[in-house]
Amino acid sequence: MEQKQVENMSWYVLRVMGGKEKKIVAAIEKEVDRLSMRDFVSQILVPTEKVYQIRNGKKVSKERNFFPGYVLLEANLVGEVPHVLKNITGVLGFLGATKGGVPVPMRKTEINRILGKVDEMALMEESVNIPFVVGETVKVIDGPFNSFHAEIEVIDEQKKKLKLMVKIFGRKTPLELNFMQVEKI
């Protein structure tokens, strides 16, 4: 086997079965180790972000895939490497490859932007960015008005609160909830 040549490494995007990204990454890692291909495949990433929701009155964090159905891979695609990767269960092929053609590497600017985004997500604490619009109807998912529909009157982005109007028994009632206590309909 050749020595590891980092300068020959490029980033590629693998299309994979949606929802199975982590399993497929584990399978790729296992296959790369089994065939001693570490010199040709250096990194495999599934970009994710943390999303916070309120469930039963508790704040729950959940990882959400940034690019569902895609895995990023830093590799030197020589010899059998692309063939081995394409034959792993759940891998549909390389993105940007013409049918039966050579996989196209990502541009440096693209990968830096994506990796920068991934690092940003890792550093970012609990930022909840939910673009609501005044006048929009939302569903309350927490508190005594759970499952009621309400209309947004005012949005306070600093405090991440919404002033809402809920119709109860034919009469409008004002309500103040935070972003995570409601969801878009």
The residue behind tokens 């390389």 is 94
List per-residue pLDDT tens for the chain, 185 residues long. 444 445 678 999 999 998 899 999 999 999 999 999 999 999 999 888 777 777 776 777 778 888 899 999 999 988 889 989 999 999 998 887 566 667 888 888 888 888 887 676 666 655 555 578 899 999 999 888 899 999 999 998 878 889 999 988 889 999 999 888 888 88
pTM over 0.85: no
Structure letter (DSSP) for residue 4? P
Domains and CATH numbers, the chain: 6-123 (3.30.70.940), 137-184 (2.30.30.30)
Range list of β-strands (E), the chain: 10-16, 41-45, 48-55, 58-65, 70-75, 91-94, 137-140, 149-156, 161-168, 171-178, 182-184
